[in-house]
Structure 1
Amino acid sequence: MTGVHHGLGLLLVLLPTVSASSTGTVVRINRAALSYVSDVGKVPLQRALKVIVPPLLDWRGEMLQPTRIQILDVRVPHLDLKFIAGFGLRLMATANFTIKVFCIPEPLELVLPMTLTADAHVARGPIRTPVVSISTCSPLFSLASVLNGSNSTSPLLLVLVQKHIKAVLSNKVCLCISNLVQDLNIRLGTLIGLSPVGPESQIRYSVVSEPIITDDYIALDVNAILFLLGQPIVLPLHSASFVLPWPVGTEGVMATVGLSQQLFDCVLLLLQKAGALNLDVTGELNSDDNPLNTSALGRLIPEVARQFPNPMPLVLKVHLGATPVITFHTHNATLRLQPFVEVLATSSNSDFQSLFSLEVAVNLSLQLSVSKVKLRGVTSVLGDIRLMVAASNVGFIDVEQVHTLVGTLFQKPLLDHLNALLGMGIALPSVVNLYYTNSEVFVYEGYVVISSGLFYQR
């Protein structure tokens, strides 16, 4: 009984991705997903419907004798799903049961056609995950046909066999569907699990309202909570809810995910508080690629040359005290960093001596992409890096002179570090073995939209 949630469940496990809360995220599962779910769900549904039929007890002479019955095969040639506005989903399927009856004088094989209709209600559960429940289930059986042209079975026995099989399947089919939906709800419950974001930090999603269900899609509001060392990161409350326009993104895709700027603000705040955006850039002596040493700096600042007659390596300690600022305009995402850079030199006794510190402003272009279940980013510098001296222990500093040395050597390590961090990705709501595929990312004023296909990997 582990099959149907791979089909019907594939649609529903994606629902938790949406929100009008402080970190608004909105996901819509569109009608295009239903045909894929129907195709994927046929084989698991066939396995689920292959239930055990108890023997038929009938009178032979003066004794009650059992006749063994076995379902040899189940084929589901048709499976269709559609949305029920304001309620959930309707499943419609046809199935053919191949059944063997071990009767005397010879076994009998039958094909029993069935039409199944089931309505599933989708709601928000008590632990803030989607909960699915079967409200109606109606199997309808047609007359069975005898295979192999066998006609030695008595008409009365054939009638009794069909009546027995239909009575058993009428109960077992719906019970099986209900059990599978319960298995699905257990799987849906894993959506509130923690996913790593970076060192000592995690993200967790939860459904914050009842689903919105129309003839075209199912959507849920989901809140993303980020944790640092087990404690939630709290943003100032936003008065405006995040509303995702309809339609938006690519027409005809299976899933549309809307991510508000509030979510990105929270992620960047988390990374900044965790210190994940900080880095050290270390110089090496006798390196043409990295001339971060007192000799190179001394040619620009005489006091450095005086204090360090022998070349010593420099270290740039980059610290982001201010939270990065992300801005979304149509077709354009930018990231503004304002790191504090302290320039230190290694002295002869291996201690660090602070030479001067800089306040830096750098604007970055941000490109977003989706890989399986993660949203990833890559940045590049926009324009020039601006430097301003914050403090100096080596006298007057001409910013224009040190700009090339410090700015150039600072830029590549910063980008490498930031892109490595953003390349790890932020987990989107999902469950095991379910992935976003062929995804496109669109940037709009104040939010991001992911238009994606779905893929379930067995």
Structure 2
Amino acid sequence: MFGSQGLGLLLALLPMVHTTLPDAMVRLNKAALSYVSDIGKAPLERALQVPVPNFLDRSGKELQPISIQIPEIHVSGLHLKFMAGFGVHVSAMANFNIQILRVPEPLEMLLPVVLLADVRVAQASIGTPEVGVSSCFSLFSPASVLAGRNSSSPALLVLVQKHIQAALRNKLCLCISSLVQELNVHLGTLIGLNPVGPESQIRYSMANVPIITSDSISLEVKAVLFLLGKPMAPPLDAASFLLPWPMDTTGAMATVTLSQKLFDYALLLMQKAGTLNLDITGQLSSEDNLLSTSTLGQLIPEVAHLFPQPKPLVLKVQLGAKPMLTLHTNNATLRLQPLVDVLATSSNSAFQSLFSLDVVVNLKIQFSVSEMKLRGTASMLGDVQISVAASNVGSIEMDQIHTLMCTVFEKPLLYHLNAILGIGVGLPSMVDLHYASPEVSVHEGYVVISSGLSYQH
């Protein structure tokens, strides 16, 4: 838990924002604490390396300064435990290898120390997790001589031990407090913008104070989405997120729960940014090109009349209605209702609208996590529904053009959508922290990412 590898690792997954209604929740369990305990031993050993002033030996006629050094510290046990409603209790067992550079012969001693600290986890004013040591104690056991002849008097050795203990007692807790304060600076960097697209970003922050039980710590979080550097209001009709009960995620250290509301917010951003719009352009030089006035003219006589010479067609796909993502158990579907304008280039290279179509597309979405991002893959779900919205080429029989429009529309749409969904949305993260073997599950109204943790410096 110590240093940026410690509680920073434990709290790095906590998303960040500025309102009280949560969009998501992050829960870290006892397995996460155990992992932090394992990787926290080495940073703790380095942190406890403190100097000890010389001991003044007054047993002789003259004062004799005795130099004391600590060449090695071994943390044999580091244990973290949740404290309900408060934070984390820390207990560590450290063995201090101490060298007493006395005359005529140095002496090596082993001093066991038990460190106890209570760390409060709270919400900072800037919306980040904030940790602070509320109490700290160091308990010393009698030292044992490891090497060197024990030629010093027992009384002198007792005085030396008391001197070492007095020097270490306050310094050890100060070291821990200093590391925690340093950690708060590190945690403050978690409020950053993660890209969602070329012109959009997402920022997370804590919505409320942490919920801490004896088994886990949960943080409710809000997300703010930015378009062209400006925060965008969430959809007005988005339902409030009802936090689910803890799930059976055996083997997971962390669970990140993302609400339907958050997905609706992200889709609204994509719609307003225009990232879901696309142009599908025909090429006359292609042998299998179907997007031409000659192909369309075989189905619509007026098109053949207007364009006796073949011209390429352009399908201008623009999303008018808000995309609708539906989350059911083990099933995520996306409904798009774009307006497709069918255009042809005239002799002066200007575009001429032939007709427009109301289109309904249902897609199945598969979620995955890689590189600290939630990504998606879309596939067609059922047939594309098409109806004529307006026509400049007379009456159009849908039975005649349905197959053609579906053929030229589906593949480019899927390619475009998967390119966008493949970019992914950045999840709350910290430098050098990675999700280990993340698994994504879909539930009624929310998505859960269950994962281990891996810190790679």
Deviations 1:328-378 (A, max 9, x none): 111111100001111111223322221111111000111111113211111
Matched, 1:4 2:3: yes
Q: What corresponds to 1:436 in structure 2?
A: 435
How many residue pairs match? The answer is: 457
Q: What corresponds to 1:146 in structure 2?
A: 145
CA distance in 1, matches of 2:22, 2:129: 19
Alignment of 1:116-265 (within 5 A): 116-236=115-235, 241-265=240-264
Q: What corresponds to 1:303 in structure 2?
A: 302
Tell me the CA shift for residue 275 of structure 1. 0.7
Tell me the CA shift for residue 451 of structure 1. 1.3
Tell me the CA shift for residue 230 of structure 1. 2.1
Matched, 1:426 2:425: yes
Specify the code of the residue in structure 1 equivalent to 2:391: S
Instruction: Give identity over the alignment, percent.
Output: 64
CA distance in 1, matches of 2:287, 2:95: 75
CA distance in 2, matches of 1:287, 1:23: 52
Q: What corresponds to 1:67 in structure 2?
A: 66
Contact 1:119 1:135 in 2 (8 A): yes
Deviations 1:92-113 (A, max 9, x none): 1101111222211122211111
CA distance in 1, matches of 2:193, 2:61: 66
Specify the SS of the correspondent of 2:400. Answer: helix
Structure 1 gap segments, 5+ residues each: none
After the TM superposition, list the runs of 4 or more consecutive aligned residues in structure 1 that deviate by more than 6 angstroms. 17-20
Contact 1:327 1:334 in 2 (8 A): yes
Specify the SS of the correspondent of 1:160. Answer: helix
Q: What corresponds to 1:394 in structure 2?
A: 393
Alignment of 1:274-353 (within 5 A): 274-353=273-352
Q: Residues 80, 96 of structure 1: CA spacing in aligned structure 2 closer, same or farther, 3 A cutoff?
A: same
CA distance in 1, matches of 2:288, 2:233: 42
Tell me the CA shift for residue 188 of structure 1. 1.3
CA distance in 2, matches of 1:204, 1:145: 54
TM-score (norm 1): 0.95
Tell me the CA shift for residue 238 of structure 1. 6.6
Contact 2:30 2:253 in 1 (8 A): yes
Alignment of 1:49-128 (within 5 A): 49-59=48-58, 61-128=60-127
Q: Residues 21, 313 of structure 1: CA spacing in aligned structure 2 closer, same or farther, 3 A cutoff?
A: farther
CA distance in 1, matches of 2:408, 2:215: 53
Q: What corresponds to 2:378 in structure 1?
A: 379
Q: Residues 249, 238 of structure 1: CA spacing in aligned structure 2 closer, same or farther, 3 A cutoff?
A: farther
Tell me the CA shift for residue 18 of structure 1. 9.8
Tell me the CA shift for residue 159 of structure 1. 2.1
Deviations 1:195-232 (A, max 9, x none): 11112111111111111100111001111111111222
Specify the SS of the correspondent of 2:436. Answer: strand
Specify the code of the residue in structure 1 equivalent to 2:203: R
Tell me the CA shift for residue 63 of structure 1. 4.2
Specify the SS of the correspondent of 1:5. Answer: coil
CA distance in 1, matches of 2:286, 2:433: 48
My pick for the range that moved more, 244-253 or 191-200, is 244-253
Tell me the CA shift for residue 143 of structure 1. 1.2
Contact 2:239 2:261 in 1 (8 A): no
My pick for the range that moved more, 178-187 or 13-22, is 13-22
Tell me the CA shift for residue 173 of structure 1. 0.9
Tell me the CA shift for residue 252 of structure 1. 4.3
Specify the SS of the correspondent of 2:5. Answer: helix
CA distance in 2, matches of 1:214, 1:240: 27
Deviations 1:384-405 (A, max 9, x none): 0011111122222222222222
My pick for the range that moved more, 183-192 or 218-227, is 183-192
Structure 2 gap segments, 5+ residues each: none
Contact 2:107 2:148 in 1 (8 A): no
Contact 1:249 1:449 in 2 (8 A): no
Specify the code of the residue in structure 2 equivalent to 1:184: L
Q: Residues 143, 331 of structure 1: CA spacing in aligned structure 2 closer, same or farther, 3 A cutoff?
A: same
Tell me the CA shift for residue 38 of structure 1. 0.7
Tell me the CA shift for residue 291 of structure 1. 2.2
Tell me the CA shift for residue 20 of structure 1. 9.0
